[in-house]
Structure 1
């Protein structure tokens, strides 16, 4: 399935396993890369030396390409970038920040750089900054999201119309039909997040994985837009946020309620009441926890079946 994405990353299939905080450790990344797609380690939930450990373990577990997702709003960013270079990682996905800040520096060190955006405006800024590819992520996605609430169906063709570099679609993609649909709209590949949360190799807590499997349509909601918009499964913490909104809270009051390590508490430690449970709308289509290799195989088989079905129309 050779195209601009498979050639850019030297992978078999144009699929990227998203680098999600508290879900994407070395086990998930290496299993993804070994399955023919690009695995990403999520650096956002790791102290620098923990990231180094995950990189080293990933290198031992796979001889295939893998990368690091780096949310630029996190502290210790210089130390994180230095470790990536020291450990010889050649692919970095940046997000939650200005792509101009690190793109040139990374490329000077021989790194392929991809930036995650949620709008045409930021896609153009990323292209101008010199990134090698763009991930355009729609409103359906889990975790931190764009404020414009543009859905993947609308976002992908609008971004495609304006850029020349490879385009990766994200948000609401968990199977082969969605992969084909976004590629028909102009994407060169897809980034899949939520489906890999519910994998055997994900570092998420088993209770959170099961909550994702049990989720139905309408069980997630985007909130905390005054801080950093995030899509969450509705639970006690989510309800507490909505109650606070009734008082017209200040950003400081929202920060106080959010506190520290709320995402770790929910996704990594399995506190389903007080934790922050980040997942996409597509969780309503995820019904089981499977090995990464089986997930990838299912996506590719369904993609090929969908192509044949479209050809018969």
Structure 2
């Protein structure tokens, strides 16, 4: 399965384990990398000293390439970037910010830079900023999302049509069949988030993992667009947000209801009532908790099986 992405990252399979807050620590990243994918540590929920610890533990747990996902709205961004360089991390995925800010700085230090976008407009801006690859994430994805509500099936070919650097598809991908579909549309690889939430190595609370496994079609919805659009499992907190919307709330009223550390309470601490439970629409297809290596092996086998089926039914 050699292509531009496997060569760029020096990995076996064109699969990236997403760097999700409160889910993607060193255990998950190293397990994914050891299984032939690219594991990512999610820096967005880590203080600088915690990130350094996770990077060091990941290096001790794998001799395969891994990276760090960095939301650029991070308040300690300069310290985070210095730690990444100091710890000799070779791959960085940036998100939630202007790619021009850090791309050249990182590349000058020998780091491959990938930027996450949710639209063609921002994909082209990332390309102009000189990134090495782009992740185009559709509306189906969990967590913080784009405002345009463009689905992965629509977004990937639109971006591919105008992009000349490697393209990674994300949003609603948890199976090898979906992986093949995205690559048929022009993606060079896929980034998978929600499926890895329900992995044994995910740092998410077991109560949250079980909610993901139990989720059905329609159990998630995008909300809080006035702040930062986020896809959540419907729970007590989500219902409180919906009730507030009936009153035509101000941005300040939404911020007051959101408060602080909602995502940590929900995903990391297991508060299923008052926490944010961020997950993608694909949760309806996730039925069990597995080791990360098994998830990757399953996807590869499904991908190959789907390839064979397509050849058999081709016109």
Shared fold, TM over 0.5: yes
Aligned to 1:150: 150
Displacement of 1:73 in angstroms is: 1.3
Following superposition, the deviation at residue 295 of structure 1 comes to 0.5
Match of 2:294 in 1: 294
Instruction: Quote the residue 2:255 is aligned against.
Output: 255
Structure 2 partner of 1:72: 72
> How far apart are the structure 2 equivalents of 1:88 and 1:255?
37
Question: 2:44 aligns to what SS in structure 1?
Answer: helix
Q: Which residue of 2 aligns with 1:59?
A: 59
Partner Cα separation in structure 2 for residue 291 and residue 67 of structure 1: 20
RMSD: 0.3
Distance 1:250 1:68 in 2: 35
State the partner residue of 2:114. Answer: 114
> 2: CA distance between counterparts of 1:175 and 1:304?
11
Q: Which residue of 1 aligns with 2:221?
A: 221
| Long gaps (5+) in structure 2 | none
Aligned to 1:141: 141
Structure 2 counterpart of 1:18: 18
Shift of 1:311: 0.4
How far 1:74 moved relative to its partner? 1.8
Q: TM-score, normalised by structure 2?
A: 0.99
Moved over 4 A (4+): none
SS in 2 for 1:222: strand
* Count of residues in correspondence between the two structures: 313
Gaps of 5+ in 1: none
Q: Within 1, Cα distance between the matches of 2:26 and 2:143?
A: 20
Q: Distance in 1 between matches of 2:225 and 2:109?
A: 35
Partners of 2:102 and 2:3 in 1: how far apart?
A: 27
In 2, Cα distance between the equivalents of 1:181 and 1:199? 23
Q: What residue number does 1:84 align with?
A: 84
| Cα distance per residue 1:174-207 (max 9 Å; x no partner) | 0000000000000000000000000000000000
Confirm whether residue 104 of structure 1 aligns to residue 83 of structure 2.
no
Helix, strand or coil at the partner of 2:273? coil
Q: Deviations over 1:76-109 (max 9, x none)?
A: 0000000000000010000000000100100011
Deviation digits for residues 12-71 of structure 1 (CA, Å, limit 9, x no counterpart)? 000000000000000000000000000000000000000000000000000000000001
